[in-house]
């Protein structure tokens, strides 16, 4: 049998990511590949850095995109900021918090886990108690927007507690960037990573990352080298720094970076506040329709993520069959429940380009007729 070209169908992606990609971003991806040390490419990278600083609302000079998905951004934060023996307080209210714990342990650190109920935000009082009980802790790690449950935590309050107890913060902003307010400088967050394929509506495979000066100071004071060569950010800095002469570290994913540049130009043109509002508006529309169908939310209204709607599967409904029908009949993908919510919830994403009335209408219509 001869294998021929692969042509995927045109799906509508309304799950936990990847999200639907802006057509302009797909076009940018197919522009001619040029050398990753080409002066024109280097100029594009400098713009990309500025665009990322805008998206993160930071002046941090160390603001880049890791050449790998969000999980690599997570790992980059831990391997650079956690040395063997370091104590790290890890907040766990879903799947991604647990991955943070695993990262700490694999770095030889000691994780102190603060558990919160799935579907609820991280409780600052529990975190404060953990900080009091562990005065030797060096880092506080938490997920801003828990994609596994749809809960938003108060990053500003958590970061303030961390500073009061002399801890750096590692913040997972994979799903929050571009979808809800994230103010890296104002909230004084230290190491923040995100992903290209959620609310930025870019192709998967890149992880925006920013480090504060406090984080850089900790990295520079390390007693041991970072155990990962690829993710050692002191080496990557030589490639991303705008000092003119760039050194080879690894071959940058040239076309994917064009795509991220384009996605961020679109975000800049729309304006961050408008993007946040668009996600909120789409969420309110979806909520109204779902409530008419008798579908209820996992997360309390106060901490619901507009871009990730975790809802209970109605009683007696076959989870996998409904998702299969949505895909076959409507080319619509919604997310299954993850971890403790597996089989119990669906996760409907309104991320980036998908946060539009058209998508909400399609999803509601498809769900209504499929549930019948
Ligand atoms: C998607 C996601 C990740 C992982 O990103 P990948 O690009 O899949 O590696 C990490 N944290 C959160 C909160 C996410 O939603």
Q: Would residue 159 count as lying in a domain? A: yes
The answer to whether residues 295 and 211 belong to one domain is no
Structure tokens at 279: 């996600």
- Domain boundary residue, one of 215, 249, 268: 268
Q: Would residue 257 count as lying in a domain? A: yes
The pLDDT of 252-266, averaged and rounded, is 98
For the chain, the domain total comes to 2
- Of all protein residues, whose CA lies closest to atom 6 belonging to ligand 1? 70
The pLDDT of 53-58, averaged and rounded, is 98
The answer to whether residues 363 and 301 belong to one domain is yes
Distance 40 CA to ligand 1 centre (A): 31
Residue of 68, 70, 96, 350 to mutate, ligand 1, most atoms within 8 A of C-beta: 70
Percent of the chain with pLDDT over 70: 99
- Domain boundary residue, one of 241, 268, 295: 268
Residue 165: domain span: 23-268
The answer to whether residues 87 and 49 belong to one domain is yes
- Domain boundary residue, one of 268, 287, 316: 268
b/e sequence 286-317, b meaning 16+ C-beta within 10 Å? bbebbeeeebebbbeeebbbbbbbbbebeeee
The yes-or-no verdict on residue 204 having pLDDT over 80 is: yes
Task: Specify the higher pLDDT residue, 103 or 248.
Answer: 103
Return the pLDDT at 248.
84
The answer to whether residues 35 and 72 belong to one domain is yes
Q: Is 147 in the pocket of ligand 1 (CB under 6 A)?
A: yes
pLDDT band at 235 (very low <50, low <70, confident <90, very high): confident
pLDDT band at 244 (very low <50, low <70, confident <90, very high): low
Q: Would residue 1 count as lying in a domain? A: no
Q: Which CATH number do you get for residue 207?
A: 3.40.640.10
Q: Is 228 in the pocket of ligand 1 (CB under 6 A)?
A: no
The pLDDT of 148-177, averaged and rounded, is 98
pLDDT band at 1 (very low <50, low <70, confident <90, very high): confident
Q: Would residue 322 count as lying in a domain? A: yes
The answer to whether residues 153 and 249 belong to one domain is yes
The answer to whether residues 226 and 342 belong to one domain is no
The yes-or-no verdict on residue 242 having pLDDT over 80 is: no
Distance 158 CA to ligand 1 centre (A): 20
Q: Cα torsion for 306, 201, 55, 189, to the nearest 10°?
A: 60
How far apart CA 20 and CA 224 sit, in angstroms, is: 42
Q: Is 208 in the pocket of ligand 1 (CB under 6 A)?
A: no
Q: Would residue 4 count as lying in a domain? A: no
Q: Is 69 in the pocket of ligand 1 (CB under 6 A)?
A: yes
- Of all protein residues, whose CA lies closest to atom 14 belonging to ligand 1? 174
Q: Is 174 in the pocket of ligand 1 (CB under 6 A)?
A: yes
The answer to whether residues 280 and 244 belong to one domain is no
Tell which atom from ligand 1 comes closest to the C-alpha of 308: 15
Q: Would residue 353 count as lying in a domain? A: yes
CA gyration radius, the chain:
21
The answer to whether residues 281 and 160 belong to one domain is no
How far apart CA 353 and CA 358 sit, in angstroms, is: 11
Distance 216 CA to ligand 1 centre (A): 23
How far apart CA 241 and CA 63 sit, in angstroms, is: 10
The answer to whether residues 142 and 84 belong to one domain is yes
Average pLDDT value over all residues in the chain: 96
The pLDDT of 125-150, averaged and rounded, is 98
The answer to whether residues 226 and 336 belong to one domain is no
pLDDT band at 243 (very low <50, low <70, confident <90, very high): low
The answer to whether residues 102 and 229 belong to one domain is yes
Distance 17 CA to ligand 1 centre (A): 8
| Residue carrying the six token digits 């690829």 | 230
Return the pLDDT at 71.
98
Return the pLDDT at 372.
87
- Whether residue 329 is annotated as binding a ligand: the answer is no
The answer to whether residues 33 and 165 belong to one domain is yes
The pLDDT of 90-94, averaged and rounded, is 97
3-state helix/strand/coil string of the chain: CCCCCCCCCCCEEECCCCCCCCHHHHHHHCCCCCCCCCHHHHHHHHHHHHHHHHHHCCCCCEEEEECCCHHHHHHHHHHHHCCCCCEEEEEECCHHHHHHHHHHHHCCCEEEEEECCCCCCCCHHHHHHHHHHCCCCCEEEEECEECCCCEECCHHHHHHHHHHCCCEEEEECCCCCCCCCCCCCCCCCCEEECCCCCCCCCCCCCEEEEECHHHHHHHHCCCCCCCCCCCCHHHHHHHHCCCCCCCCCCCCCHHHHHHHHHHHHHHHHHCHHHHHHHHHHHHHHHHHHHHHCCCCECCCHHHECCCEEEEECCCCCCHHHHHHHHHHHHCEEEEECCHHHCCCEEEEECCHHHCCHHHHHHHHHHHHHHHC
Q: Would residue 180 count as lying in a domain? A: yes
Q: Would residue 128 count as lying in a domain? A: yes
Return the pLDDT at 254.
98
Percent of the chain with pLDDT over 90: 94
The yes-or-no verdict on residue 118 having pLDDT over 90 is: yes
Q: Which CATH number do you get for residue 363?
A: 3.90.1150.10
pLDDT tens-digit map of 306-365 = 999 999 999 999 999 999 999 999 999 999 999 889 999 999 999 999 999 999 999 999
Return the pLDDT at 339.
85
């Amino acid at each position: 049998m001869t294998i021929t070209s692969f042509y995927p169908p045109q799906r509508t992606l309304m799950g936990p990511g990847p999200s639907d990609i802006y057509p302009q971003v797909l076009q940018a991806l197919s522009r001619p590949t040029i050398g990753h040390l080409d002066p024109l490419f280097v100029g594009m990278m400098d713009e990309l850095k500025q665009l990322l600083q805008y998206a993160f609302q930071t002046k941090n000079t160390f603001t880049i995109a890791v050449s790998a998905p969000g999980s690599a951004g997570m790992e980059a934060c831990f391997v650079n900021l956690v040395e063997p023996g370091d104590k790290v307080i890890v907040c766990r209210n879903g799947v991604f918090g647990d991955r943070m714990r695993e990262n700490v342990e694999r770095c030889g650190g000691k994780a102190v886990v603060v558990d919160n109920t799935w579907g609820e935000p991280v409780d600052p009082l529990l975190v404060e108690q953990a900080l009091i009980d562990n005065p030797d802790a060096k880092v506080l790690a938490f997920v801003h927007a828990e994609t596994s449950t749809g809960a938003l935590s108060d990053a500003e309050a958590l970061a303030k507690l961390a500073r009061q107890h002399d801890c750096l913060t590692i913040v997972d902003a994979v799903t929050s960037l571009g979808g809800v307010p994230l103010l890296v400088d104002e909230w004084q967050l230290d190491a923040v990573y995100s992903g290209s394929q959620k609310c930025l509506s870019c192709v998967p495979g890149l992880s925006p990352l920013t480090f504060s000066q406090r984080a850089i100071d900790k990295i520079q004071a390390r007693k041991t080298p970072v155990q990962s060569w690829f993710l050692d950010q002191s080496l990557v800095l030589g490639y991303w720094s705008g000092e003119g002469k760039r050194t080879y570290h690894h071959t940058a994913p040239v076309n994917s970076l064009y795509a991220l540049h384009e996605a961020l130009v679109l975000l800049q043109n729309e304006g961050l506040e408008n993007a946040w509002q668009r996600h909120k508006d789409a969420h309110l529309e979806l909520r109204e329709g779902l409530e008419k169908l008798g579908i209820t939310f996992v997360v309390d209204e106060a901490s619901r993520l507009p871009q990730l709607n975790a809802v209970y599967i109605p009683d007696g409904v076959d989870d996998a069959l409904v998702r299969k029908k949505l895909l076959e009949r409507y080319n619509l993908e919604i997310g299954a429940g993850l971890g403790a919510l597996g089989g119990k919830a669906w996760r409907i994403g309104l991320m980036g380009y998908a946060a539009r009335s058209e998508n909400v209408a399609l999803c509601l219509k498809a769900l209504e007729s499929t549930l019948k």
